[in-house]
Amino acid sequence: MAIFEKDELLELNSRYRATLINSLAGFKTAVLIGSENSVGESNLAIFNSLIHIGANPPIYAFICRPDTVKRDTLTNILETGYYSFNYVKTSDFTKAHQTSAKYECSEFEAVGFGKTYIDNYLAPFITEAPVKIGMKFIEKIDIAINGTIMVLGSVEKIHFDDNLLSDDGFVALEQADILACTGLDAYYSTEFLGRLSYAKTDCEPKRID
């Protein structure tokens, strides 16, 4: 059995510790964030930290690493106020991962993703992404303990195939073969197990799928 106390974690090799803590956080949607600067230069980068903040109004957040080095995604968002979340298929996991390389040109062209604009929205989307979400910057929260940054944004537009949408608003992402990830370099497909009714103390949950 693997057992780590906090003092042991702090003594680990930094890369080993980063891999351990990142992967232990579990499966998440691999999100590719599209953005542009004020002169139209585009950027595309993979993130594994999408956070649902609330539904009324609809707000998502993500975490940026410290801006002690060049962070094009964060810079572009603060400059223009707009960005996109793109979910990609499992077949594109190599290209998605490659967007984390330090290119001097647009990652759209460098890794081979198509770039598209929707209704003159001020951020690019991945053409072939089965789920596209247009975001507008709300707030940047500096996290003092480790220098990371939480970026909050409002959901401005959502585009996906209506075949994924259930009558109650549930989006069946697994039907679009959406890419999932853990840590910084591991990628997965998903399998639907079932949806369950609202939990109550006086009855067992029932399947609702």
Query: Sheet holding 58-64: strands in order across?
Result: 42-47, 31-36, 82-87, 131-142, 149-160, 58-64, 51-55
Count CA atoms within 13 Å of residue 8 on its CB side: 5
Tell me: the pLDDT tens digits for 109-159?
Answer: 999 999 999 998 999 999 999 999 999 999 999 999 999 999 999 999 999
Residue with tokens 């959502």: 158
The beta-strand segments (E) located in the chain are 28-29, 31-36, 42-47, 51-55, 58-64, 82-87, 115-116, 125-126, 131-142, 149-160, 180-182, 186-188
Domain boundaries, the chain: 25-186
Q: 135-140 contacts: CB < 8 A, separation 24 or more?
A: 135/60, 135/82, 135/83, 135/84, 135/85, 136/81, 136/82, 137/77, 137/78, 137/81, 137/82, 137/83, 138/59, 140/78
Is the model's pLDDT at 67 over the cut of 80? no
pLDDT > 70? residue 68: no
Over residues 14-39, the pLDDT tens digits come to: 989 988 888 888 899 999 999 999 99
Give percent of the chain with pLDDT exceeding 90.
Answer: 74
Is the pLDDT at 93 greater than 70? The verdict is yes
pLDDT at 71: 78
Lowest mean pLDDT among 21-25, 58-62, 199-203: 21-25
Is the separation of the CB atoms in 134 and 119 below 8 Å?
Answer: no
Return the pLDDT at 149.
95
Q: What pLDDT was estimated at residue 175?
A: 94
Q: pLDDT at position 108, please?
A: 96
User: In 3-state terms, what secondary structure has residue 184?
Assistant: coil
Share of the chain above pLDDT 70, in %: 98
Please give the Cα distance from 64 to 151 (Å, whole number): 7
| Confidence band for 69, pLDDT divided at 50, 70 and 90 | low
pTM reported for the whole predicted model = 0.92
| DSSP-assigned letter for residue 149 | E
Amino acid (1-letter code) at residue 111? V
Q: Which residue has the tokens 């691999």?
A: 30
Residues forming a β-bridge with 150: 63, 141
Over 70: is that where the pLDDT of 95 sits? Answer: yes
Q: What is the mean pLDDT of residues 67-91?
A: 90
The per-residue pLDDT of the chain, averaged, comes to: 92
Adjacent-strand bridge partners of 157? 134
DSSP-derived pairing of the beta strands 82-87 and 131-142: antiparallel
State whether residue 192 is helix, strand or coil. Answer: coil
Helix then strand then coil, % of the chain, to nearest 5? 20, 35, 40
User: Is the pLDDT score of 81 beyond 70?
Assistant: yes
Q: How confident is the model at residue 63 (pLDDT cuts 50, 70, 90)?
A: very high
Q: Which CATH number, 2.30.110.10, 2.40.50.140, 3.40.640.10, 2.60.40.420, labels domain 25-186? A: 2.30.110.10
